[in-house]
């Protein structure tokens, strides 16, 4: 299956070249930077940065987070994987590496403190996030007209009674709206959310942190500043840090 995904990614790269070593989007002035010790680590150190007078300045962090059980792998965001790199596939238990725009906030709690233009959706039994790669709605958020009831709908239903998913932010990996995406089986449903067992548990591919840290992140995010998530193993981060002007 990974061969099929790599073929589709290669086709997409040929159509829309996008260099990992290029500059960050000029309009971006907020970034969450995650750095791991290596590709197979499920632990990450996260820092919130804001660009002021052309300089990236730490706002909060570093603070700990958890990643996929099997570590990390190149993903599809504002940057594309290097040629012939291993790429994310559905169910590989790895968190996607690269630079990603951030979407809205979802949860089962009352509206958290946030920027007025940051969208928040209180999840209901009618909310689905499609992880079925055979569906034309793969990696889409769907709101049904009535609560999920069929076997397929229940399998795609967003979690309702699970504390770690009571607050989450969409990380736009392989996201709808980007040209040529989503690519089937290239990974879906990647979020920031609250960690399990106070950080003792890895994830299936999301990035998790404490409730206090994710609430601070939600309060800080300003959609007008085009925030991004930069996730890289340490060796890759050190290669790109100077180019991007990061600490």
Dist CA 167 CA 194 (whole Å): 7
Dist CA 87 CA 173 (whole Å): 12
Tokens of 7: 């073929």
Q: pLDDT value at position 12?
A: 44
- Regions of the chain where pLDDT drops below 70: 1-23
Tokens of 195: 């960690």
Structural contact between residues 120 and 112, judged by C-beta atoms closer than 8 angstroms? yes
Q: Which residues pair with 170 in a beta bridge?
A: 191
Q: pLDDT value at position 76?
A: 94
Q: pLDDT value at position 182?
A: 95
Q: What is the pLDDT of residues 214-235, one digit of tens each?
A: 999 999 999 999 999 999 999 9
Would you call 183 exposed, middle or buried from its count of C-beta atoms within 10 A (0-12, 13-18, 19+)?
buried
Structural contact between residues 231 and 203, judged by C-beta atoms closer than 8 angstroms? no
Q: pLDDT value at position 208?
A: 98
Q: What is the pLDDT of residues 61-78, one digit of tens each?
A: 999 999 999 999 999 999
Q: pLDDT value at position 20?
A: 61
Cα angle, residue 93 at apex, residues 87 and 98 outer, rounded to 5°: 40
Dist CA 123 CA 127 (whole Å): 6
Structural contact between residues 92 and 73, judged by C-beta atoms closer than 8 angstroms? yes
Tokens of 18: 């996008």
């Amino acid at each position: 299956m990974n061969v099929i995904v790599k073929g589709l990614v290669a086709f997409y790269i040929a159509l829309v070249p996008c260099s990992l070593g290029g500059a960050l989007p000029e309009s971006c002035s907020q970034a969450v930077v995650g750095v791991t010790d290596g590709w197979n680590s499920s632990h990450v150190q996260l820092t919130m940065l804001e660009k002021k007078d052309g300089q990236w300045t730490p706002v909060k962090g570093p603070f700990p987070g958890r990643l996929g059980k099997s570590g990390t792998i190149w993903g599809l965001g504002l940057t594309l994987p290097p040629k012939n790199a291993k790429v994310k596939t559905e169910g590989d238990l790895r968190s996607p590496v690269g630079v990603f725009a951030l979407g809205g906030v979802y949860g089962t709690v009352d509206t958290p403190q946030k920027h007025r233009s940051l969208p928040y959706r209180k999840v209901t039994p009618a909310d689905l996030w499609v992880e079925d790669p055979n569906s034309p709605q793969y990696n889409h958020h769907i709101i049904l007209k009535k609560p999920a009831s069929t076997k397929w709908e229940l399998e795609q239903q967003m979690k309702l009674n699970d504390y770690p998913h009571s607050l989450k932010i969409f990380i736009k990996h392989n996201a709808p709206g980007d040209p040529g995406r989503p690519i089937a089986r290239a990974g879906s449903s990647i979020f920031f959310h609250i960690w399990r067992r106070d950080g003792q548990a890895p994830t299936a591919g999301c990035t998790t942190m404490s409730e206090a840290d994710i609430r601070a992140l939600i309060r800080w995010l300003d959609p007008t500043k085009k925030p991004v998530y930069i996730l890289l193993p340490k060796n890759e981060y050190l290669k790109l840090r100077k180019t991007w002007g990061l600490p």
